[in-house]
A = this chain, B = another copy of it.
Amino acid sequence: MLEMKKILVVGLGLIGGSLAMALRGFEDFEIVGTDRSPAVREQAAEKGTGDRIAPGPGPELPGADVVVLCQDPAGITGFLKEHKDRFKPGALVTDVCGVKTAVMEAAACLPDGVDFVGCHPMAGKEVSGIANAEGGLFRNTHFIVTPGPRSTPEHLALLRRMAAHCRFGDVIETTPERHDAMIAYTSQLMHVIALSVCDNDELFACQGFEGGSFRDCTRVAALDPAMWTQLFTLNAPALCRVLGVLEERLGQYRRAIQSGDREGLSAMLAQASGRKKQIDLERARGDDVRPSF
């Protein structure tokens, strides 16, 4: 009889819990979940998160073939530092952090025989925690992978099979730097916009006047302040760059609207809406991935 291999999922919040659920039945791997909170471990066990819930990572780490770090950014980098000598030689270590350069830098402390590959499952919900975890969370979303300098083709292939088992829509391989620049624009900027819109005095007065565009734009404002403070700060240069571009563009629209120059405004609207229509067409042709967050 073959011995089971082991995937250890550390941190059973929304993403970790959902991953441990989605990974069940993956090849010949036992899925073990752990969390520092006893209440979370109990709820995870009740929900059937993974095959088994362990009280802590300590005894599990030396036997884990794959370790997936699903804490907040500081939790991930702290774990790497604290446990760097306890990983199994030859193990694949990965994470789910929304910023990759800082995590890859922290992973440089790992010994030679341990392979760190950064991952970012582009899935989520407006609510967090194990209570909201579900195995179907990743269906048709992007799975972004940033290999490290020592990453082996075998480990990258293993991650692709794990992603397929979790029903991700596609796997995007890129550098940590490009990931962080792109995510500043496509995700972090959307969160700063949503927060900024909610900072308006009219927020509580506008009931009855919201359309779907308002609901959609502000949806992600109900975020976890501690985690997003980390994510924004860890990616400050890229995020401030796209924020600056947006502020400039909003000012151009404001001045065009104020000036009453309908022709100039119409040309701006035609150009921007044309870009959106073109990208919608390209997406519809090339790709049916419908990301969920």
Contact = CB atoms under 8 A, between A and B. Distances in A.
A236 interface: yes
Given A217-B217, A219-B216, A209 B192 contact: no
| Size band of the interface chain A makes with B | 35 or more
Interface of A: 122-124, 126, 141-142, 144, 170, 172, 179, 181-183, 185-187, 189-200, 202-226, 228-230, 232-233, 236, 239-240, 242-247, 249-251, 253-254, 257-258, 260, 262, 265-266, 268-273, 275-277, 279-280, 282-283, 286-287, 290-293
Contacts of A182: 202, 205-206, 209
A200 B276 contact: no
Among A230, A245, A282, the most chain B Cβ lie within 10 Å of the Cβ of A245
B186 A293 contact: no
8 nearest A-B pairs in the assembled complex, by CB-CB distance: A216-B216, A221-B276, A225-B269, A190-B213, A182-B209, A195-B272, A172-B208, A196-B249
B122 A211 contact: yes
A228 B218 CA distance: 21
Contact of A269 (B142, B181, B229, B260): B229
Nearest to A221: B276
